[in-house]
Structure 1
Amino acid sequence: MTVAFAVENTLGKLAKWLRILGFDATFDAGAGGLEFFRSASPHRVLLTRTASVEKQLRSGRMLFIHSNEPRQQLIEVLRNLEIRPEDVRPFTRCVACNRRIESVEKPSVRDKVPDFVYESHEQFRQCPCCGKIFWSGSHASRVMQRVRQLFDAAGPSSGEDVSPI
């Protein structure tokens, strides 16, 4: 399933987690409300916590998020859109700017990452937009464990494993 999101400015942590899972999730901390959603591409699912926006837009592609807690918000999205583990592509988008990250040659990041990281990792990715560099650090396994727990909490799945790309 390919789905893209327009995420209201009150749901910043949800936008970050959608990006971690590999979903295209536009988010602008300074923008929100009707203008933000009206400017969003028509193929995006609109995510809001603002009742007045939900009432005024009445879009079939809008999901009203009930929870205040980011973990529960993500579970709401997974359940309502029937997103399954095989639909996610973890660690393929920049969490800062939403662009797809690209593999880069190790020597190209030599002076851009800590020495220990450079010496202990062989694969690096970089955002072509903001330049942020990514590698599979110790956090990756913790994030993947959290993702598995989210899918367990969201309900039945295909039983397929979620693994980072």
Structure 2
Amino acid sequence: MSKQQDELKFLCDLTVVKLGKKLRILGFDTEIIKTVNQQAIKELLKHTNRTLVTKSKELVKACGGILITKNRTSEQLEELLMILNNTNPQLPNTPARCAYCNEVLVDCPKEEVIGKVPIYVFETIEHFKRCPKCGKIYWRGTHVVRHLEFFSSQGKETDTRGDNKW
């Protein structure tokens, strides 16, 4: 792919919804579509300059894009990043996004999350993010740590980009 990784925008179909949500949390601008109409997808791709990500061979043949062959979401993520980086997956240098709205998350003062997160989380986590659109609260939980550990264990670059997301 010729696009710089930080400029990549994805369009995930219903076959890879969980992957789409993970991509958002990792900082990729990712739309998740609910239509299966190939013409509608072609138009959307044309007007949004996004790259289609799907498990559908038929859809990739008709619209272009990236075919995902793995079933587990973590393996799908690894497969996609390897395709994009020629076997050298790296995180984008962009802020995390809401898994539901695709909005860039903003810092949220700890006092604003009182009663909105579990007590244990409030007592053990110092930094929170909030979606400015839907209000969902995010924090660096074990799922984020697992993603960063995956990249680190593969000898891939995470530097401070992964840390700055949270």
Structure 1 length-normalised TM:
0.76
- For the pair 1:131 / 2:135, whether they are aligned, the reply is yes
* Aligned 8 A contact 2:91 2:162 in 1: no
Letter in 2 for 1:71: S
2:122 and 2:51 map into 1 onto residues whose CA distance is 38
- For the pair 1:50 / 2:56, whether they are aligned, the reply is yes
* Aligned 8 A contact 1:6 1:37 in 2: no
Note the residue ranges of structure 1 that are not aligned, 5 or more in a row: none
Note the residue ranges of structure 2 that are not aligned, 5 or more in a row: none
State the aligned residue count: 154
1:66 is paired with a residue whose SS is: coil
* Aligned 8 A contact 1:126 1:133 in 2: yes
What aligned pairs does 1:18-57 form with structure 2 within 5 A after superposition? Answer: 18-28=23-33, 30-34=34-38, 35-40=40-45, 41-57=47-63
2:30 is paired with a residue whose SS is: strand
What aligned pairs does 1:73-92 form with structure 2 within 5 A after superposition? Answer: 73-82=76-85, 84-85=89-90, 87-89=92-94, 92=96
* Aligned 8 A contact 2:97 2:103 in 1: yes
* CA shift for structure 1 position 95: 1.5
Question: RMSD of the TM alignment (CA)?
Answer: 2.6
1:148 and 1:55 map into 2 onto residues whose CA distance is 34
Which residue number in structure 2 is paired with residue 164 of structure 1? 163
2:145 and 2:80 map into 1 onto residues whose CA distance is 22
1:125 is paired with a residue whose SS is: strand
2:134 and 2:89 map into 1 onto residues whose CA distance is 30
* Aligned 8 A contact 2:81 2:90 in 1: no
Using a 3 Å threshold, how does the CA distance of structure 1 residues 38 and 49 change in structure 2: closer, same or farther? farther
* Aligned 8 A contact 2:11 2:51 in 1: yes
